[in-house]
Amino acid sequence: MRAADAIIKALEKEGVKHIFGIPGGAIIEVYDALFDSGIKHILTRHEQAAVHAADGYARATGKVGVAFATSGPGATNTVTGIATAYMDSSPIVVMTGQVAKSLIGNDAFQEADITGITMPVTKHNYLVTDENELLKTIKEAFHIAGTGRPGPVLIDLPKDVTTAEVEFNYPEKITLPGYKPKYRGHPRQIKKAAELIMKAERPVILAGGGVILSNASEELTKLAETIPAYVATSLMGKGAIPETHPLSLGFIGMHGTKYANYAVQESDLLIAIGIRFSDRTTGRVSDFAPDARIIHIDIDPAEIGKNIEIDVPIVGDAKLVLQELITHITYRKRKEWEDKVEGWKKSYPLRYRRDNEKIKPQFVIEKIWELQPDAIITTEVGQNQMWAAQYFRVRKPRQFITSGGLGTMGFGFPAAMGAKTAFPEKQVVDIAGDGSFLMNVQELATCVDYGINVKVAVLNNMFLGMVRQWQELFYDERYSATCLRCKEMSIEKIAEGFGAVGMTVERPSEVEDALKEAFEIDAPVVIDFRVDRLENVYPMVPAGAALHEVIDEEV
Amino acid sequence: MRHTIAVLVEDRPGVLARVAGLFRRRGFNIESLAVGVTEKQGVSRMTIVVSGDDRTIEQVTKQLNKLIEVIKVSDVSKNSVERELALVKVSATPQSRAEIIEIANIFRARIVDVARDSLIVEVTGDEDKISAFIDLMKQYGIKEVTRTGKIAMQRGSKALE
Ligand SMILES: Cc1ncc(C[n+]2csc(CCOP(=O)(O)OP(=O)(O)O)c2C)c(N)n1
């Protein structure tokens, strides 16, 4: 059969239900094959958005997300999306068209060396030069993307490969001699960890995105309750334990809760699970958790000892390791530590100055949480992201979807599209800044076209807010290129222009009603919340400071 | 500290770019890199000389291991036979020619090309030996040097696979 048809058949075999993408000459053959398929294709308006949507789909479901793009500009437009997925270990497969084999290397029309370009930001990538390798490649790609530490895989398909004739024998097995993820933790190391845990007086669990990726949330909660130990998460770990759980400390790091940061700093044992100790999480490394022994559980051996020295390394899948670890642990109350942490929680709650005149962005998020605590939340990047992380108390894994590693503005809205495509019955809300929203605003057309009824809450401060905050605090209020001077811009009209529903909200008293209305409308809705322009995110650990060196605001 | 790392890789297009790219991206400094086929079909062996402290070397090893086409990574710095090959084109006058040949003999090097006013000498050995040889040749006037970079293999019957 035609290779293009074999590709689509292979995707069906892999259980693919949705593909996001944009066609073009080099991949037209594959699109032609897609025409007769049961797989639903969603035509985005930008390839970057297609990849973010596939990524959002993957993060919401745990399945591999798929995106298509044509050669050259189509392919290069995917790069930000791929890098975003790479930094957050999200499993996606991106297929790009490529010029015919005979033209490769000749700077042909719409040629780009996309495998070269994406080498540093993919878990693996392929340029298929032999149609007989095609099916094996697809099989491998899905396997690599979804297993071990997940990540993006790109397959570049020269046009003449897609038009070739192949036999459809989709391989059952794969042979990758160099790829053998280790799932079971070493029993001796696990025992050692258990001994340290039993001896610890001030144990804290630090959970990252890996816990969510390995579906280990239940085990995590059980471990926390069994020890018992408080649980702080990274931004990516939000939802690993319900943030309404008495042992939850919320998230740590630059804008994490004070009590999470203090607890980690004063712990005598840190049980780090599926976390990579990014600088936004640890603060100044040399002063990170100075008294703590550290146990690190991670499926990727390269993460262990990369940024922080580790006492007990355990390489393995978080779920399996925790199941084993729990069997070695018995409950022991640690009254003094508990009193101390509970004291911090009481003394330093997240708080902001309430206002009856100006809309506080935090207030908007609190209301979203009150009205739709089970909504899937995506975020953009900046202040909006940090407020969402602080004030939306996530109760389930895969409920909070954010670009943690790359920090990609423009991620949240298409990611919401992806999540909503996977779960049309759920409320999906993108919490956005005005700057970020404009970076992929064209996807409103896609939402309207396909009835993808996501809600976007724009916290509109007419600034690139987070950068403005840094300029205010560290650069003498020199607001260089952060003021988005567009008082005349109407987000409401932009939404309407695309055929979606737009709203503008200027008073705190209108926030709740507007949200209620938006959640009831069966259409994509964008609400422009005109928020207090100069509101800052607190608490804040300045870049390069230690976690306990927190700046806070008087309230 | 300098380390010599042997890497077995699947012989697929782009592998070298992947490995070299990894070093640049992560800020590891490659001193030399030599690649060639092995006794097994479809498997190549790279020998990479890299300097760094223990932590750097550990990261190098782990990051290399993460590459899908990398089958095996091994630090062969200790207890191994290390060789490099160099071709040295040296100026030779009728007066100096005999001297150069004599030195080459002492180093068990071979004259592989003779021209009217120059010789090409092929020398193999560990790095020190080659450096010493090149050093001695300097007095005659070196026109060109090319070195392969180091290859290494651990002593004894155990093999990398
Ligand atoms: C693609 C991209 N470009 C630039 C940045 C740098 N950056 C980080 S936060 C930020 C401001 C975000 O502004 P906005 O979306 O309005 O959100 P706010 O901080 O005001 O909530 C910028 C420009 C980024 N993270 N991503």
Q: Mind listing the pLDDT tens digit of every residue in chain A (555 residues)?
A: 999 999 999 999 999 999 999 999 999 999 999 999 999 999 999 999 999 999 999 999 999 999 999 999 999 999 999 999 999 999 999 999 999 999 999 999 999 999 999 999 999 999 999 999 999 999 999 999 999 999 999 999 999 999 999 999 999 999 999 999 999 999 999 999 999 999 999 999 999 999 999 999 999 999 999 999 999 999 999 999 999 999 999 999 999 999 999 999 999 999 999 999 999 999 999 999 999 999 999 999 999 999 999 999 999 999 999 999 999 999 999 999 999 999 999 999 999 999 999 999 999 999 999 999 999 999 999 999 999 999 999 999 999 999 999 999 999 999 999 999 999 999 999 999 999 999 999 999 999 999 999 999 999 999 999 999 999 999 999 999 999 977 789 999 999 999 999 999 999 999 999 999 999 999 999 999 999 999 999 999 999 999 999 999 888
Same domain, B73 and B114: no
Q: How far is the CA of A448 from the centre of ligand 1 (A)?
A: 26
Q: Are the beta carbons of A305 and B55 separated by less than 8 Å? A: yes
Strands ordered across the beta sheet of A65-69: A40-43, A18-21, A65-69, A92-98, A152-158, A124-127
Is B132 inside a domain boundary?
yes
The confidence score (pLDDT) of residue A53 equals: 98
**Residue B158 lies inside a defined structural domain of this protein:** no
User: Which of B78, B96, B125 is a domain's end point?
Assistant: B78
Q: What is the pLDDT of residue A555?
A: 80
The answer to whether residues B60 and B6 belong to one domain is yes
List the single residue in A115, A120, A144 with the smallest CB-CB distance to B14: A115
Q: Give yes or no for residue B17 having a pLDDT over 80.
A: yes
Classify residue B107: in a domain, yes or no. Answer: yes
> CATH code at B21?
3.30.70.260
Q: Pocket of ligand 1, candidates A235, A439, A458, A466: which has the most ligand atoms within 8 Å of its Cβ, to mutate?
A: A466
pLDDT number for residue B1: 86
Instruction: Using the 3D structure, point to which of B78, B94, B115 is the last residue of a domain.
Output: B78
Residue entry with tokens 């640049």: B24
β-pairing, A124-127 vs B2-10, is: unpaired
| Among B10, B21, B62, beta carbon nearest to A301 | B62
At residue A270, the pLDDT reads: 98
**Which residues of A have a catalytic role annotated?**
47, 109-110, 159, 466
CA-wise closest residue to A452 among A489, A473, A427: A427
**A305 and B CB contact within 8 Å:** yes
- Chain A residues within an 8 Å CB radius of B70: 178
Which of B44, B78, B112 is the endpoint of a domain? Answer: B78
From the CA of A407, give the closest atom in ligand 1. 25
Q: What pLDDT does B158 receive?
A: 86
Q: Does A38 touch chain B (CB under 8 A)?
A: no
Q: Which helix (H) or strand (E) holds A326?
A: helix A318-326
Q: Measured between beta carbons, which residues in chain A are less than 8 angstroms from residue B66?
A: 300, 302
Indicate the residue type of A228.
Answer: P
Cis peptide preceding A228, ω within 30 of 0: yes
Residues B100 and B66 in one domain: no
Together in a domain, B94 and B73: no
Residue B40 covered by a domain: yes
What is the domain range of residue B104?
Answer: 81-151
Residue A102 CA to residue A235 CA, distance in Å, equals 47
Contacts of B68 in chain A (CB under 8 A): 123-124, 144, 176, 178-179
CB contact under 8 A, A120 and B65: no
Is B156 part of any domain?
no
pLDDT digits (tens, 9 = 90+) for B123-159: 999 999 999 999 999 999 999 999 999 999 999 998 9
3-state class (DSSP) for residue A286:
helix
Contacts of B25 in chain A (CB under 8 A): 120
Same domain, yes or no, for B37 and B57? yes
Same-domain status, B69 and B101: no
Residue of the nearest CA to atom 8 in ligand 1?
A382
pLDDT for position B161: 78
Which atom of ligand 1 is closest in space to residue A387's alpha carbon? 21
Specify burial of residue B80 (Cβ count, 10 A radius: 0-12, 13-18, 19+). middle
- Residue list, ligand 1 pocket, CB within 6 Å: A 380-384, 407-410, 433-436, 459, 461, 463-467
Number of the ligand 1 atom closest to the C-alpha atom of A459: 21
Quick check: is B86 in a domain? Answer: yes
Task: Supply the residue whose CA is at minimum distance from atom 20 of ligand 1.
Answer: A465
Nearest residue in chain A measured CA to CA from B21: A120
CA A50 to ligand 1 centroid distance, Å:
20
Q: Do B55 and A176 make contact, defined as CB atoms within 8 angstroms? A: no
Nearest to A540 by CA among A389, A374, A333: A389
Q: Which pTM was predicted?
A: 0.97
Domain count, chain B: 2
Domain co-membership, B109 together with B98: yes
Q: Based on the fold, state whether residues B142 and B124 are members of the same structural domain.
A: yes
Residue A177 in contact with partner chain B when CB distance is under 8 A:
yes
Whether residue B160 is contained in a domain is answered as no
* Separation of alpha carbons A507 and B65, rounded Å: 56
Please tell me the predicted confidence (pLDDT) of residue A272. Answer: 98
How far does the centroid of ligand 1 lie from the alpha carbon of residue A283, in Å?
21
Helix (H) and strand (E) counts for chain B?
Answer: 4, 9
Do residues B123 and B147 share a domain? yes
Looking at the fold, whether B87 and B145 belong to one and the same domain comes out as: yes
CATH of the domain at B100: 3.30.70.1150
Write the CB contacts of A276 (distance below 8 Å, at least 6 apart in sequence). A208, A298, A303, A306, A307
Domain assignment present for B138: yes
Closest partner CB to B10 (pick from A120, A144, A178) = A178
Specify whether B116 is located in the same domain as B59. Answer: no
Q: ω into residue A23 within 30 of 0, thus cis?
A: no
- In this structure, the answer to whether residues B70 and B28 fall within a common structural domain is yes
